[in-house]
Amino acid sequence: VAMSDYIFFMSDVILCQSIVRRFQSIQLARRMKDEIHRKRNDAAASIQSAFRRHVAMNYYAFFLSDIIMCQSIARRFQSIQLFRRKKLETHQRQNVAAVAIQATFRRHMAMSDYIFAVSDIILCQTIARRFLSMQRARKLRSDLTQQNAAATMIQSSFRRY
């Protein structure tokens, strides 16, 4: 009986150990499965994170290139507008300068024409005055000559008497 009790006791102990070991192995399997699941989740999260980072970087690169392209187009447009404005201002300044040069040249020509006309008039007046004064001088000489002749005649007549 003691032997059978011992055998039953041992079989109960072995059964308990088996149940405990089974329980421990199930717990270990669950922990390992949870660990594998956690590692897979971490790996998946890491892969997703890397993929999202890659997508975000590509989106950022395209977005940045679009912004740079827009800035380039805007700056080109602004520089063309500035160039046209400067060209127009230069053209206007050249027109103003050309008008000023033309006005100065016309004033110079008018002044030269006026000076030449005045000098011609003065020359004509000088010639006319010289001519008139020479006529007057001739007349005065002829009058003086006549007066001298008349005085000579009067003197000779007086002396003859």
Render pLDDT for 110-121 as a digit per residue (tens, 0 to 9). Answer: 999 999 999 999
Q: Is the pLDDT of residue 77 over 90?
A: yes
The DSSP output letter for 159 is H
User: Structure pTM?
Assistant: 0.44
Position 71 scores a pLDDT of: 97
User: What rounded mean pLDDT belongs to the chain?
Assistant: 94
Gap between the Cα atoms of 17 and 30, Å rounded: 19
pLDDT bin (cut points 50, 70, 90) of residue 98 is very high
Enter the tokens of residue 147: 């007066």
| Residue with the larger pLDDT of the pair 158 and 31 | 31
pLDDT of residue 102: 98
What b-and-e string marks burial along 21-40, b requiring 16 or more CB atoms within 10 Å of the CB?
Answer: eeeeeeeeeeeeeeeeeeee
Model confidence band, residue 108 (pLDDT cutoffs 50, 70, 90): very high
Cα angle value 123/141/126 (rounded, 5°): 5
The span from the CA of 11 to the CA of 3, in Å, is: 12
Q: Half-sphere exposure of residue 97, counting CA atoms within 13 Å on the CB side? A: 6
Given this model, what pLDDT does residue 35 score?
94
